[in-house]
Amino acid sequence: MFEELDGAVIRDLSIEGIRLGRDTQKGALAGRIRNSQVEQIRVSGITGRLGDGILRNCLTRVEIAAPERIGNGGIIGGPQTGSAAVEASLSLSTGVNANRISGWNVLGITSSAYELESSDSESNLSPETEHRVFSATEEETREPSFYTDILGWSEAIWSFDRLAAEGIPSLR
């Protein structure tokens, strides 16, 4: 949608059926997000690069086809250095040449980011992220209580009516 977001607040957005070409810093919402707040988003691969911003209450389900794993993630591609804040979010992304959440090891200030346990992508779980990044089974992610109780998502914003059939909640 955007090449860059700087100082933006994006809320309550669903982007579906998008296909991204090969390029640096590509994402369905933006190639680069700086100094911004992004909440309640349902999309495939949110941003190529997140710097000095927060992604909160976001969900991705994308199949990543990339030439290499580094720099390619289900929620964010990078930045290469520093820290990214991904909070109360879930990546249901797959793809052997990708990481489940972030393309780089930059999740130092992340809290409660979840990745699909059965994904064929590389896990972002590590000793450095063990209290911030967690694994979720497909069965867990098909229960409304996972989103409301564990992630703290609001039923006023998210609908769980089609969760069993489609495997993901939708924005109201």
Give 47's strand partners: 30, 76
Q: Where does residue 48 fall: left (phi above 0), alpha (psi -120 to 50 degrees), or beta otherwise?
A: alpha
The chain-wide mean pLDDT, for the chain, equals: 80
| Alpha-carbon 157 to chain mean position | 18
List the chain domain ranges.
2-171
- What residue ranges in the chain does DSSP mark as E strands? 2-6, 9-14, 30-34, 37-43, 47-51, 54-60, 76-78, 85-91, 111-116, 133-136, 158-159, 170-171
Strands 158-159 and 133-136, by their bridges, are: unpaired
Q: Specify the higher pLDDT residue, 77 or 118.
A: 118
Q: Are 62 and 45 in contact (CB under 8 A)?
A: yes
User: Whose CA is closest to 150, among 160, 140, 162?
Assistant: 140
In this predicted structure, what is the pLDDT of residue 146? Answer: 98
In this predicted structure, what is the pLDDT of residue 145? Answer: 98
pLDDT in tens, 104-144: 887 778 889 999 999 999 999 999 888 999 999 999 999 99
Angstrom distance (rounded) from CA 107 to CA 85: 7
Split at pLDDT 50, 70, 90, the class of 46 is low
In this predicted structure, what is the pLDDT of residue 2? Answer: 62
Angstrom distance (rounded) from CA 26 to CA 166: 26
Q: Specify the higher pLDDT residue, 71 or 40.
A: 71
